[in-house]
Structure 1
Amino acid sequence: MIYMRFLDFAADSYEEMAEKILEIDPQCEPERARNAARSHLDRANWMMTTGYKDQFAN
């Protein structure tokens, strides 16, 4: 479910995704916030395009 939220927030900045979804404060931990959000978004994209694309196809 988290990965679906990342795809929904993909137009936002990494900092916004980290704060809204992962509850990481980008002001206190900017590098951790950016890395965590980027990593999760990469996995979400992989799931949709390669990993589980058959389950998401309509």
Structure 2
Amino acid sequence: MRKPPLDPDVADAAPTDQMLTVYDEQHVVTYMRLLQAESEGADWREVARIVLHLDPEREPRRARSAYQSHLARAKWVTEQGRLLRDTGSK
């Protein structure tokens, strides 16, 4: 796996594939930031603004949906996808 970008733009929804994707590899830093923010009890609106680059005031549904989608994928990637366990993906 190549070094992922530190602050990539995100899609409106994270992948739902049952295998790791290129998108997952590109967003590993995003996923880690989401998991850290959740563990610290950060407000989802602040996280959406800072991590996902979405404005929850202007687009509350889009921002909330993207936040939930990416957080769920972050959990899947670390628990099931094994992205951070160095098993790689193709």
**Whole-Å separation in 2 of the counterparts to 1:12 and 1:54:** 23
1:48 aligned counterpart, secondary structure: helix
What does the per-residue CA deviation read over 1:17-41, in whole Å, with 9 as the maximum and x for residues that have no partner?
1101011111100001100011000
C-alpha change, 1:54 and 1:21, in structure 2 (3 Å) is closer
**Whole-Å separation in 2 of the counterparts to 1:32 and 1:53:** 26
TM-score, normalization by structure 2? 0.56
Q: CA RMSD in A?
A: 1.7
**Whole-Å separation in 2 of the counterparts to 1:16 and 1:55:** 29
Q: How many residues align?
A: 56
Higher relative contact order (CA 8 A, sep 6+): 2
Aligned match of 2:62: 32
What amino acid maps onto 2:32 in structure 1? M
Identity of aligned residues (%): 39
Task: Give ranges in structure 2 of 5+ residues lacking alignment.
Answer: 1-28
Out of 24, 27, 30, the residue aligned to residue 2 of structure 1 is: 30
Large movers: runs of 4+ above 4 Å: none
Deviation of the 1:47 alpha carbon: 1.0
Select between 9-18 and 23-32 the one with higher mean Cα deviation: 9-18
